[in-house]
Copies of this chain bind each other. A is one copy, B any other.
Amino acid sequence: MHVLVIGAAGMIGRKLTQRLASDGRLGERRVTQATLYDVVPAPVPAGASFPIGVEVGDLPAPGETDRLMAGRPEVVFNLAAIVSGEAEEDFDKGYRINLDGMRNLLDSIRAAGHAPRLVFASSLAVFGAPFPAAIPDDYHLTPLTSYGTQKAIGELLLADYTRKSFVDGVGLRLPTICVRPGNPNKAASGFFSSILREPLAGQEAVLPVGDDVRHWFASPRAAVGFLVHAASLDARILGPRRSITMPGVTATIGEMIAALRKVAGDEVAARIRRVRDPFIEEIVAGWPRKFTTQRALELGFTAERSVEDIIRIHIDDELDGQIA
């Protein structure tokens, strides 16, 4: 089976290709070829039993998605995105990559004619406040950012092209990924990872919001698990509603710090410095806190059960088991 990963150089894309290389299969089927596509060359994981091609390009450029579909991949992951902050700052760029890129991909898939499985990385950003206490699977899409709008449109296109049998699509609304490895980034959500990542690495982290802020999380390992499960799922049972809110852990900042203290001790938890930032507080106030995710659980998607699990996965996967 030929697998195409669009957005393969990103954090989730790299972890997904590592997992494919290590498993050698997707569900029941053996991977015989992979193509990694991004705006920069994606790293090729070691130890794969199948050939891996690396392609570089600009997804919405004319002919680009046709070129990618010429290899007739049987599974396509679309992880390419201009992220929330950048899509908000650069309106045209966000629509070009997140909407035109997705639509071109769907049209090229339709033209290719073999209706591959397309796993589309959507986002909680398709939802916008005000919210009920726990957001049900049938809650309406009212994004409050251009990024969320573009993802919601991607979900609608995915469902319609699937209904017409042009593609076999599954959309996943990923939780906020925590703990993100690497350097702190400037996303408004960055502190959710940094208050765990930096203390565990012996560094100070700044917490810009109150301890009562609640949000929805899953580890990078869980996110890769969602993608792999979505690629091999019998999607006929989904019916026409092809995008699914992924399971996760709901936790307040206070609960996250308590979990950090439990796993790594008081000294590590003391590396968090509280500096309230009203700008970030206001943004975060509009974010979802908890989902029911009944459909995802029935379909066999699994996430962590607690922030402790999320922290331990970070220590295992990124820190070789060592706390600084």
Encode A112-139 as 1/0 by CB contact (under 8 A) with B.
Answer: 0000000000000000100000000011
Docked Cα-Cα span, A146 to B179, in Å, equals: 39
For the complex of A and B, 7 pairs with smallest distance between CB atoms:
A149-B160, A140-B140, A138-B140, A149-B156, A153-B153, A142-B241, A152-B156
With an 8 A cutoff between CB atoms, is A163 at the interface?
Answer: yes
Residues of B within 8 A of A152 (CB): 156
A188 near B: Cβ within 8 Å?
A: no
Interface presence of A297 (CB below 8 A) = no
| Chain copies in the assembled complex | 2
**Smallest beta-carbon distance A143→chain B, Å:** 7
Taking a contact as CB atoms under 8 Å apart, the answer to whether B164 and A157 are in contact is: no
A149 adjacent to B143 (CB under 8 Å)? no
List of B residues within 8 angstroms of A159 by Cβ: 142-143, 149
A133 to B140, CA, bound (A): 17
Task: Kindly list chain B residues whose C-beta atoms are within 8 Å of the C-beta of A153.
Answer: 153, 156-157
In the complex with contacts A91-B164, A128-B240, A164-B91, A156-B143 CB distance below 8 A: yes
Q: Is A141 an interface residue (CB 8 A)?
A: yes
Instruction: Provide the bound-state CA to CA distance between A265 and B146, in Å.
Output: 55
- Chain B residues with CB under 8 A of A156: 141, 143, 149, 152-153, 156
Minimum Cβ distance to chain B for residue A147 (Å): 10
Given contact pairs A141-B156, A149-B159, A153-B156, a sample of 7 additional A-B residue pairs in the complex whose CB atoms are under 8 Å apart = A91-B164, A140-B140, A142-B159, A144-B240, A146-B160, A149-B157, A153-B157
CB distance from A10 to the nearest CB of B (A): 24
Q: Which residue of B lies closest to A152 (CB)?
A: B156
Report A27-54 CB contacts with B as 1/0, cut-off 8 Å.
Answer: 0000000000000000000000000000
Q: Which residues of B contact A141 (CB under 8 A)?
A: 140-141, 156
User: Contact between B142 and A139 (Cβ–Cβ < 8 Å)?
Assistant: no
* Minimal Cβ-Cβ distance residue in B for A94: B160
In the complex, residue of chain B having the shortest beta-carbon distance to the beta carbon of A126: B156
Proximity string of chain A (156-172) to chain B, C-beta cutoff 8 Å, 1 when within and 0 when not: 11011001100000000
Residue among A140, A152, A159, A240 facing the most chain B CB atoms (10 A cut-off): A140
A1 to B245, CA, bound (A): 46
Task: Check if A143 sits within 8 Å of B128, measured CB to CB.
Answer: no
Least distance between A237 CB and chain B CB atoms (Å): 15
The residue in chain B whose Cβ has the minimal distance to the Cβ of A88 is: B164
Q: Which B residue's beta carbon lies closest to that of A139? A: B140
Q: How far is the CB of A104 from chain B (nearest CB, A)?
A: 12
* Contact between A142 and B91, CB atoms less than 8 A apart: no
User: CB within 8 A of A144: which of B91, B140, B149, B163?
Assistant: B163
Q: Whole-angstrom distance between the alpha carbons of A128 and B160 in the complex?
A: 12
Chain B residue contacts of A140, Cβ below 8 A:
138-141
Cα–Cα, bound, A128→B138 (Å)? 11
Map CB proximity to B onto A289-310 as digits: 1 under 8 Å, 0 otherwise.
0000000000000000000000
